[in-house]
């Protein structure tokens, strides 16, 4: 037998990845609850920020609603990476390596779980945000675009989790990345728009931080309307991270799987 | 595929694996396993058994030497080797969140079993290893024996010609171990599967393997059928346990003329290596009777693979203690009854 075709391999591994995700409430629940909790705290505590001249909206909740999508994507780094690291630690990767499995199928299949998690997260954040009173000026097409962008970012970040898992082979090492990524979120336009950041060094760092532009893409759909430049930047950054992540993960997979 | 390859087993010459900053885990081994043979690779922890399996299954490149598995070179023809072999590695690498049936579905698909045959093949193998009823339960709830049996079923989905089993029964109870032995023996005898089995259990190698290679510190120190290896050691041991423990020294003196003394046994008796072989047993009985010693048990122990290991390496095989303690306790129950 020469092995399953690539779509079959991807499909089967995707199925496993999705089943694993759905069967681990401990992966899904924190990724849903924690960002919504921070949204509630921030939108309550920082609502006076809307009085600043130049603030783009009267609703801080609408402005802050972009943040959970990014936080949710950070969870996918941990979840996708930890799952793969566990496969390495338990020897399951060796089992897969003994089949005619292609590396591309393994990585793509593993990211399928991140897609499902991204979909569930994005739909939940958006629904809760709108129920709580957030605005969405682009309507239903905008909501679908937000979900697509959120899933793209989740998958892109998930690829970094896969790389970390393949490079280290350790679930603990993957989990230690989470605070590092969280710092990137905090030194961005998370709390205020870039042009309202008054501290020079913070403004400079946040302007160089890709996370600011990912947030900007969500906010364009929530607050401003169809800004193709902001969307292109958001999807472009997600695609770039995905390409870098998958390239690095593929190289790490070759090193990890030293099969002849 | 050529007939030669269909009939090929395992051929290893000068295989070496060196790890960075470490000793040679495998230090130039040569071996041949004939098609349909069960080859037992016996050795203590850290002897190099698993490293050898990883190289032969193409998961670890050798540092030096050559090996052909199913007629394919393990370095140059890795994918062909993997297509011809099945392997259950040291830890049953299963996903606790998936059921047995879901594992089978994944494995059959990845091995390219046609979609229409996957269900039937999975059901057949799960039934063969006694997991039909547990097929839809998640593996997290399986016992160690069930996991090992599922591991074996997964290794067989693509009908491999050569099966590598790395310590398949470690940690299993006797019942699960015996069930697995039966299945492995059936695979070799009925399906003609070549089996390369690593173990640290003496009785496993003895019961299953047609030939045994004993490995220590990365080198094969002895090889042959279990009977040949034991014959190298030659002499059996006789052990006599007096009814009155105070007679232990008298028993030892009575046995002394028959061979080299092994010393006091943990059951309060004495034992000697019979210089003239088992034919001396009648003389031993007569000598004990002549001394008027009441004997509780008298046992003749054939040479074991542990004796072989001891003779070749100067130390006892790790794990043998456990196995022998198990055997001893069964023996005591019989005597007591």
pLDDT at A260: 62
* Domain spans, chain A: 6-256
Rounded Cα distance between B239 and B248, Å, is: 11
pLDDT at A258: 72
pLDDT at B307: 72
Lowest-pLDDT choice from A60-69, B15-24, B215-224: B15-24
CA torsion sign for A173, A174, A178, A184 is: positive
Pair of tokens at residue A160: 């970094």
Rounded Cα distance between A72 and A34, Å, is: 9
Cα–chain center distance at A203: 23
Above 60 in pLDDT, residue B171?
yes
Distance from CA of B232 to the nearest CA of A (A): 39
Lowest-pLDDT choice from A241-245, B86-90, B271-275: B271-275
The confidence band for B207, taking pLDDT boundaries of 50, 70 and 90, is: confident
Q: Mean pLDDT throughout A166-172?
A: 91
Distance from CA of A241 to the nearest CA of B (A): 29
Lowest-pLDDT choice from A124-138, B66-80, B314-328: B314-328
Pair of tokens at residue A111: 């990211």
pLDDT at B60: 92
Task: Kindly identify which residue of chain B lies nearest to residue A90, measuring between CA atoms.
Answer: B93
CA torsion sign for A101, A107, A108, A111 is: positive
pTM for the model: 0.79
Pair of tokens at residue B5: 């390859």
Are residues B93 and A95, on separate chains, in Cβ contact within 8 Å? yes
Q: Which residues of B touch A101 (CB under 8 A)?
A: 110
Lowest-pLDDT choice from A100-114, A141-155, B224-238: B224-238
Helix (H) or strand (E) holding A177: helix A177-186
The confidence band for B238, taking pLDDT boundaries of 50, 70 and 90, is: confident
Work out the percent of chain B whose per-residue pLDDT is above 70: 88
pLDDT at A3: 59
3-state secondary structure of B88: strand
The confidence band for A74, taking pLDDT boundaries of 50, 70 and 90, is: confident
Q: Which residues of A touch B111 (CB under 8 A)?
A: 1, 3-4, 99-100
- Whether A178 and A78 have beta carbons less than 8 Å apart is answered as yes
Average pLDDT value over all residues in chain A:
91
Work out the percent of chain B whose per-residue pLDDT is above 90: 47
Closest CA to A218 of A200, A206, A230: A230
pLDDT in tens, A193-220: 999 998 999 999 999 999 999 999 999 9
Helix (H) or strand (E) holding B17: strand B10-18
- Whether A136 and A220 have beta carbons less than 8 Å apart is answered as no
Rounded Cα distance between A15 and A10, Å, is: 8
Q: Mean pLDDT throughout B84-101?
A: 90
Could you give the residue ranges of the DSSP H alpha helices within B34-160? 49-56, 78-84, 100-110, 115-128, 144-155
Q: How many CB atoms are located within 10 Å of the residue A142 CB?
A: 18
Above 70 in pLDDT, residue B89?
yes
The confidence band for B123, taking pLDDT boundaries of 50, 70 and 90, is: very high
Q: Which residues of A touch B58 (CB under 8 A)?
A: 259-260
| B8 contact partners, CB below 8 Å, separation of at least 6 | B35, B68, B69, B70, B71
pLDDT at A193: 94
The confidence band for A179, taking pLDDT boundaries of 50, 70 and 90, is: confident
As a dihedral over the C-alpha atoms of residue A214, residue A105, residue B93, residue B90, rounded to 10 degrees, the angle is -120
Q: A241-246: long-range contacts (C-beta < 8 A, 24 or more apart)?
A: A241/A153, A241/A156, A241/A157, A241/A159, A241/A160, A241/A210, A242/A152, A242/A155, A242/A156, A242/A159, A244/A159, A245/A156, A245/A157, A245/A158, A245/A159, A245/A160, A245/A162, A245/A163, A246/A107, A246/A159, A246/A162
Rounded Cα distance between B97 and A16, Å, is: 9
Q: Which residues of B touch A14 (CB under 8 A)?
A: none
Closest CA to B324 of B198, B206, B149, B244: B206
pLDDT at B67: 96
Closest CA to B93 of B141, B155, B36, B51: B155
Pair of tokens at residue A74: 């950070």
Rounded Cα distance between A64 and A237, Å, is: 20
Neighbour-count burial for B67-89, b at 16+ CB within 10 Å, e otherwise: bbbbbbebeebbebbbbbbbbbb
pLDDT in tens, A90-125: 889 988 989 888 888 889 888 888 888 889 999 999
| Domains in chain B with CATH codes | 3-230 (3.40.50.300), 231-336 (3.30.70.120)
The confidence band for B37, taking pLDDT boundaries of 50, 70 and 90, is: very high
pLDDT at B306: 72
Lowest-pLDDT choice from B2-6, B81-85, B241-245: B2-6
Distance from CA of A12 to the nearest CA of B (A): 6
pLDDT at B334: 27
pLDDT at B229: 81
Q: Mean pLDDT throughout B132-157?
A: 93
The confidence band for B320, taking pLDDT boundaries of 50, 70 and 90, is: very low
Q: Which residues of A touch B (CB under 8 A)?
A: 1-5, 8-9, 11-13, 15-16, 19-20, 23-24, 87, 90-92, 94-101, 258-260
Q: Mean pLDDT throughout A229-233?
A: 96
Closest CA to A81 of A167, A209, A182, A197: A167
| B309 contact partners, CB below 8 Å, separation of at least 6 | B42, B214, B216, B222, B315, B316, B317, B320
């Amino acid at each position: 037998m020469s092995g399953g075709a690539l779509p079959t391999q991807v499909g089967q591994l995707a199925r496993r990845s999705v089943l694993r995700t759905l069967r681990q409430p401990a992966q899904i629940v924190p990724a849903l609850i924690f960002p919504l909790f921070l949204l509630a705290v921030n939108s309550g505590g920082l609502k006076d920020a809307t009085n600043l001249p130049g603030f783009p909206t009267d609703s801080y909740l609408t402005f802050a609603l972009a943040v959970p999508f990014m936080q949710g994507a950070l969870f996918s780094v941990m979840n996708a990476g930890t799952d793969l690291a566990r496969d390495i630690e338990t020897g399951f990767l060796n089992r897969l390596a003994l089949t005619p499995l292609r590396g591309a199928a393994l990585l793509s299949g593993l990211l399928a779980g991140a897609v499902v998690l991204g979909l569930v997260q994005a739909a939940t954040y958006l629904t809760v945000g709108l129920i709580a009173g957030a605005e969405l000026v682009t309507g239903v097409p905008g909501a679908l675009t937000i979900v697509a962008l959120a899933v793209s970012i989740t998958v892109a970040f998930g690829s970094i989790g896969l790389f970390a898992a393949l490079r280290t082979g350790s679930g603990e090492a993957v989990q230690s990345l989470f605070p590092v990524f969280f710092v990137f979120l905090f030194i961005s336009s998370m709390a205020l728009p870039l042009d309202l950041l008054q501290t020079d060094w913070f403004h400079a760092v946040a302007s160089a931080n890709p996370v600011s532009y990912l947030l900007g893409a969500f906010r364009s759909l929530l607050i401003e309307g169809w800004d193709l430049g902001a969307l292109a930047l958001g999807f472009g950054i997600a695609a770039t991270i995905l390409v870098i992540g998958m390239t690095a993960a593929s190289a790490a997979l070759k090193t990890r799987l030293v099969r002849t | 595929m050529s007939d030669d390859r269909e009939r090929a087993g395992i051929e290893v010459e000068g295989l070496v694996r060196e790890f960075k900053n470490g000793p040679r885990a495998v230090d130039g081994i040569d071996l041949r396993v004939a098609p349909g043979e069960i080859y037992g690779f016996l050795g203590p922890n850290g002897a190099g058994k698993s490293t050898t399996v990883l190289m032969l299954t193409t998961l670890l490149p050798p540092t030096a030497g050559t090996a052909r598995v199913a007629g394919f070179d393990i370095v140059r023809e890795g994918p062909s080797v993997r297509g011809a072999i099945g392997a259950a590695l040291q830890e049953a690498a299963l996903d606790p969140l998936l059921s047995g049936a879901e594992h089978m579905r994944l494995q059959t698909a990845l091995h390219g079993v046609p979609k229409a045959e996957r269900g039937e093949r999975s059901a057949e193998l799960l039934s063969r290893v006694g997991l039909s009823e547990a097929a839809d339960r998640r593996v997290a709830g399986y016992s160690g024996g069930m996991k090992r049996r599922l591991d074996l079923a997964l290794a067989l989905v693509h009908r491999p010609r050569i099966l590598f089993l790395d310590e398949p029964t470690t940690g299993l109870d006797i019942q699960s171990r015996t069930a697995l032995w039966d299945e492995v023996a059936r695979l070799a005898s009925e399906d003609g599967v070549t089996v390369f089995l690593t173990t640290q259990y003496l009785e496993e190698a003895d019961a299953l393997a047609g030939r045994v290679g004993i490995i220590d510190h990365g080198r094969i120190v002895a090889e042959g059928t279990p009977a040949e290896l034991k014959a190298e050691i030659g002499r059996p041991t006789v052990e006599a346990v007096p009814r009155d423990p105070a007679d232990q020294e008298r028993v030892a003196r009575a046995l002394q003329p028959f061979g080299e003394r092994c010393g006091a046994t943990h059951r309060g008796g004495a034992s000697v290596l019979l210089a003239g072989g088992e034919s001396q047993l009648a003389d031993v009985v007569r000598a004990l009777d002549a001394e008027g010693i009441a004997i509780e048990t008298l046992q003749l122990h054939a040479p074991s693979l542990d004796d072989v290991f001891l003779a070749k390496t100067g130390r006892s095989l790790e794990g043998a203690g456990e196995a022998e303690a198990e055997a001893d306790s069964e023996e005591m129950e019989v005597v007591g009854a």
